[in-house]
Chains A and B, each alone.
Chain A
Amino acid sequence: MATPNTPLWEVFIRSRNGLAHKHVGSLHANDATMALQAARDIYTRRGEGLSIWVVPSTAITASDPAEKGMMFEPAESKIYRHPTFYEVPEEVGHM
């Protein structure tokens, strides 16, 4: 008999105070409480985290990799957004 699927959750962990939560992987759980407990057991067995977020995978909207060229083009053509675009005379020193 095929087993019915259990919902998928994405897990985010904040490793140290001051750093943002980072995606570490995913897991299956029936509800948020069980997802949090499973995330603790699967992803923090060696003190990897101080805080965990679990998010239903279905709640995530992702950009389409096939359209990444169009999606990120606006940033690629704007080199003047980077500090190295601007010339500052050496005598001025570090800026």
Chain B
Amino acid sequence: MYTQALNTAETDDRGLEDAGKAAQFQARVDAEERIEPNDWMPAAYRKTLTRQISQHAHSEIVGMLPEGNWITRAPTLRRKAALLAKVQDECGHGLYLYAAAETLGSSREELVDAMLAGKAKYSSIFNYPTLTWADIGTIGWLVDGAAIMNQIPLCRCSYGPYARAMIRVCKEESFHQRQGYEIMLTLCRGSDEQKAMAQDALNRWWWPVLMMFGPPDATSQHSDTSTKWKIKRFSNDELRQKFVDATVPQAQYLGLTIPDPGMTQDADGHWRYSEIDWSEFKQVLAGNGPCNRDRIAARRKAHEEGAWVREAAAAYAAKRARRQTAQAAE
């Protein structure tokens, strides 16, 4: 159950934590039990999950922007309907995830305000622009493909509400990836210009997509405790390798070239990619990507322009509640 109101007492646990409770908690996690909102949990577990789930939610919401850019310019009605449904799904995913994050004790309003204030992060991949229609195909195929790779293990995350939200999300993501690949396939079977457009999109997205899995294992800050708490089941590098191995044959089928001339296949069949340029990742994370300012500005504008709707709905509900109270008193 996702009941926010029941979580308020938990704040008292912060600071001095009972070692016995912490050991009991870890034993439950080790036994693959799910932790539920009203169960005792270490303050750091709560904090880590609030950060991770809310960032995940922000990513879904900001992720609507690069794709929304092409809804009015989709090449056919079929593509337009599919893209519209996909963008609606992303919004839905954001809402499931905000609900899961809220069970940890922060309100959605607080979480959204932190994102709008630039204090909370979202996935860096959405700070890249969608320049052509082929970018929409590439996002579905690769960005959603990478997201699925990340999210499938999260369906078994130790925190119940997050795991359950992920199960719903994963069911829906499969459509996203397939519609993206179909766009790519159509372009690759089309004219030379269309195929070149597909190749150009792959060239621009490939490296940023590999960065989606996060820093290399040797330098990742959050991995150790997240693994201990069974929030994370595979390391960044493991998931990245799984993704590359799954994607190379798909690119070959399309007749596209992965923009990594140094890539080789090892004896075990794994595709070994070249060194990733982590300075680019750090730059985009620090706010200097091609679209960081645009994305936040668009979210703020939407939030501000929707303020009168939220106010009107609240005023109407308050009026109805007053009327009901008055009628009951008569």
Flag if B109 contacts A31 (CB, 8 Å).
Answer: no
Partner of B109, one of A3, A46, A62: A3
Flag if B92 contacts A25 (CB, 8 Å).
Answer: no
Chain B contacts for A28, CB-based, 8 A: 108
B228 CB to nearest chain A CB (Å)? 22
The docked-state distance in angstroms from the alpha carbon of A66 to that of B21 is 11
The docked-state distance in angstroms from the alpha carbon of A23 to that of B112 is 25
A50 CB to nearest chain B CB (Å)? 18
- Footprint of A on B, CB under 8 Å? 1-6, 36, 38-40, 85, 88-89, 92, 95-96, 99, 102, 107-110, 112-113, 164-165, 168, 172, 310, 313-314, 316-317, 320
- Chain B interface helix/strand/loop/mixed: helix
- Footprint of B on A, CB under 8 Å? 2-6, 8, 10, 23, 25-31, 34, 41-42, 45-46, 57-58, 60, 62, 64-66
Flag if A10 contacts B316 (CB, 8 Å).
Answer: no
Flag if B88 contacts A60 (CB, 8 Å).
Answer: no
The docked-state distance in angstroms from the alpha carbon of A59 to that of B3 is 10
Chain A contacts for B164, CB-based, 8 A: 25
Chain B contacts for A62, CB-based, 8 A: 1, 3, 6, 38
Chain B contacts for A6, CB-based, 8 A: 108-109, 310, 313-314
Chain A contacts for B112, CB-based, 8 A: 3
Q: A30-B313, A34-B313 are in contact. Are A64 and B95 (CB under 8 A)?
A: no
Partner of B1, one of A5, A42, A60: A60
Q: A42-B92, A65-B39 are in contact. Are A26 and B313 (CB under 8 A)?
A: no
Q: A30-B313, A45-B89 are in contact. Are A66 and B113 (CB under 8 A)?
A: no
Flag if B4 contacts A57 (CB, 8 Å).
Answer: yes
The docked-state distance in angstroms from the alpha carbon of A27 to that of B109 is 12
Partner of A45, one of B88, B310, B316: B88
Flag if A25 contacts B99 (CB, 8 Å).
Answer: yes
The docked-state distance in angstroms from the alpha carbon of A6 to that of B99 is 12
The docked-state distance in angstroms from the alpha carbon of A34 to that of B1 is 21
B324 CB to nearest chain A CB (Å)? 11
With A2-B113, A45-B89 given, name 16 new contacts (CB 8 A). A5-B108, A8-B2, A10-B2, A25-B96, A25-B164, A28-B108, A30-B313, A30-B316, A31-B317, A41-B92, A57-B3, A57-B4, A62-B38, A65-B38, A65-B39, A66-B40
